[in-house]
A and B are shown apart, each in its own frame.
Chain A
C-alpha cells in the first residue's frame, strides 16, 4: 500500500525538479511563476494529512509570533506568564513537527517501526503533558 502511494510522489518530485533545472538554465523565468509553481505542486502532491499538519504549524507560528511581539512591545511583567504562554506554542510546534516527520510518507524508510497510530498517540500524550505544565506554570 505504502509503496504505491509513494510512487506517484517520487515521480512528482522528479518531474518538479526537471522544470526547475531547465528554468535555471534558461535564466529568465518570472519569480511569480516559480512561487506559483511551487505552491500548485505543494497543493497537488502533498497528502491531505501533511497539509493539515502544515496549516496547524503555521497557525502556531502566528500565535507564537504575536505573543513574542506583544512581549517586546509591552514588557514581560508576569514573566512566568510569558514563558508559559510562549513555550506552550513553541512546544506544541515542536511536537507537531515530530508528528509530521513520523507520519510523512516520504520518511517511511526512516520510521519503519513506528506506525502512524503510534506516532499520533505519542503526539497526543506529549501535548497533554505540555498543556498541563503550561497551565500549572502560569498559575
Chain B
C-alpha cells in the first residue's frame, strides 16, 4: 500500500514539475493543421515542460477562450495563418478579457501572412504598433545570414538581448545568436509603462516593404533600435502578452540551423531563446510571491530582529506616534519548478512605504536572512509624528517581474495623557518648577507672617 502511495506522490510531483506558476493548460491557435509539423520541436519542448497543449484552428466551432465565464486555458499561443479574420471566438475584446482573468498570450506574427484585424486592434489597444501593409519586414545589411538571405538581407542574426536597464534582471540572457527571419518590426508607444521591448533590432536595421516598387526606401515605418522584434506587455494584474515579430523563429528549421554572419559560421540558438521567451510569457520565470509579512514594536529590551517564520502573522493593529517599529517581509521568486529566495538586481531594492494618502516613509528593505525558498527583507523605523490610519505598503513594480502590491493597515495614535514625560524629567523646565515652588513657599511664609502679625496690630489699636 505504501509503495502505491509513494508512487502516486511521485507521479503527482512529476506532473507538478517544471510547470508554469499559474497553470499548464495551453491553447495553440494554428489555422493549417499541416503546418503543425513545422512547429513540432517547439510544441514538444512545451509539452516536456509540463504544458497540456491543445492545438486548434480558429475556424473550429468549439474554440473558446472561456468556459462557464472562466478561463478555459491558462495560456494562448497565436500562430499566424492565411485568413485575415480570426473568427468570433478570438476577437480583440476576447483576448483582453482573457488577460483580465490573468491569462497569458504569445502572439506570433509573420510577414508572409497579413496580420489579422483582431490582433491589430489588440496591439493598438496596448500601444504596440505594427506596419499596416502586408509584407513589411525588417532588413539589415550588416547583421544578416549570408547562407539563407545573401540577396535579400531579411534574415537577421542578433545576439541575445542585454538587460533593459542596469537595475533590471535579464530573463532572456544567453550565449549565441538568434536568427530572426522575415520579422515584422513593432514600435512601442511612449505612454504606456506596461510595455517593454525584449529583443530590439540593431541600429542598422529598418522596416521596409519589398513590394514597394521604389528603388530607395522613403519614409520607412521605423528604423534602428526603435524597432522591437520581440516586445512584451505586462498588465497591472501581471497577465503577460508577448509579441513575436517572426513566427518562423519558432519553427524547426531555425532551431539549430547553421548560419553565416559576416563570413563566420555560427549555429542559431533559437531553441534556447524560444524556451526563455515562453518561460517568461507563461510565468515560469519572473514571478514574485510575498510570504509572511510582519511588523512589530521594536522598543525596550527585546530590541532584536525576529527571524523566525514559525509564528503566525499576529501583527499589532495600533501603534503610537514616534515609536520604533520593525518590518519584515518574505519574498520568493518562482524559478521554473520551485520557489527560490528573491534578490533584486544590483542597484534596485524593494521598498517599504509607510503611508497615509502619501508616504511618510519610503525605505529600502535590506535582506536580513534567507530560508530555503525565500528571502526575508527587513527595516526598522520610527513612526512619524502624525496620528491617523497608516498602511505598511510594498508596491514593487519592475519590468519583467510580476507586480507586487501588499498592504497592511494600522492605526497610529497620539500620545496618551500619561505618556508625556513628567516636568522634572525635562531639565529645561526646572527653572519654572523653581518659580512655582518659590511662589508657593513665599506665599506660605507670607500667610504665616500675616497671621502672626495680626494680634499685635490689634493690641496696638486697642491700646490706642
Contacts and interface: CB of A to CB of B under 8 A. Distances in A.
Interface of A: 1, 4-5, 47-49, 52, 56, 59-60, 63-64, 66-67, 70, 74-75, 77-78, 81-82, 84-86, 88-89, 92, 96, 120, 124, 127, 131, 134-135, 138-139
Nearest to B458: A1
B422 A85 contact: no
A1 B440 CA distance: 34
A70 B431 contact: yes
B453 interface: yes
Contacts of B457: 47-49
B3 interface: no
A86 B461 contact: no
B309 interface: no
B438 A81 contact: no
Query: Which of B431, B442, B457 lies at the interface centre, i.e. has the most chain A CB atoms within 10 A of its CB?
Result: B431
A56 B446 contact: yes
B66 interface: no
B440 A89 contact: no
Contacts of B420: 139
Give 4 closest A-B pairs by Cβ, nearest first: A85-B432, A81-B429, A85-B435, A78-B429
Interface string B444-464: 001101100110110001001
A1 B450 CA distance: 20
Contacts of A59: 442
A25 to B, nearest CB: 35
A42 to B, nearest CB: 17
A2 to B, nearest CB: 9
A131 B453 contact: no
B265 interface: no
A117 to B, nearest CB: 9
A138 B423 contact: yes
B426 interface: yes
Q: Report whether over half of chain B's contact residues are helix, strand or loop; otherwise say mixed.
A: helix
Nearest to A70: B431
B428 interface: yes
A67 B435 contact: yes
Given A47-B457, A86-B435, A77 B450 contact: no
B187 to A, nearest CB: 63
Contacts of B450: 49, 52, 120
B430 to A, nearest CB: 9
A92 B447 CA distance: 12
Contacts of B217: none
Interface of B: 420, 422-423, 426, 428-429, 431-436, 438-440, 442-443, 446-447, 449-450, 453-454, 456-457, 461, 464
A59 B464 CA distance: 32
Contacts of B447: 124
A49 B439 CA distance: 19
B453 A134 contact: no
Most chain A beta-carbon neighbours within 10 Å: one of B432, B438, B440, B447: B432
A78 B464 CA distance: 55
B303 to A, nearest CB: 28
Contact of A139 (B422, B446, B453, B461): B422
Given A78-B423, A85-B431, 16 more contacts: A56-B446, A70-B431, A77-B428, A81-B426, A81-B429, A85-B432, A86-B432, A89-B439, A92-B442, A92-B443, A120-B450, A127-B443, A131-B440, A134-B436, A138-B429, A138-B433
Contacts of B446: 52, 56, 96
B433 A88 contact: no
A131 B449 contact: no
A4 B439 CA distance: 36
Contact of B432 (A4, A47, A56, A138): A138
A131 B431 CA distance: 16
Contacts of B428: 74-75, 77-78, 81
B227 to A, nearest CB: 66
B343 to A, nearest CB: 47
A70 B438 CA distance: 15
Nearest to A116: B454
Contacts of B439: 60, 63, 88-89, 92, 131
Contact of A81 (B432, B440, B443, B456): B432
Contacts of A86: 432, 435
Contacts of B433: 81, 85, 138
Contacts of B461: 1, 4-5
Given A78-B423, A139-B423, A131 B442 contact: no
Contact of A84 (B422, B426, B436): B436
Contacts of B429: 77-78, 81, 138
Nearest to A82: B432
Contacts of B423: 78, 81, 138-139
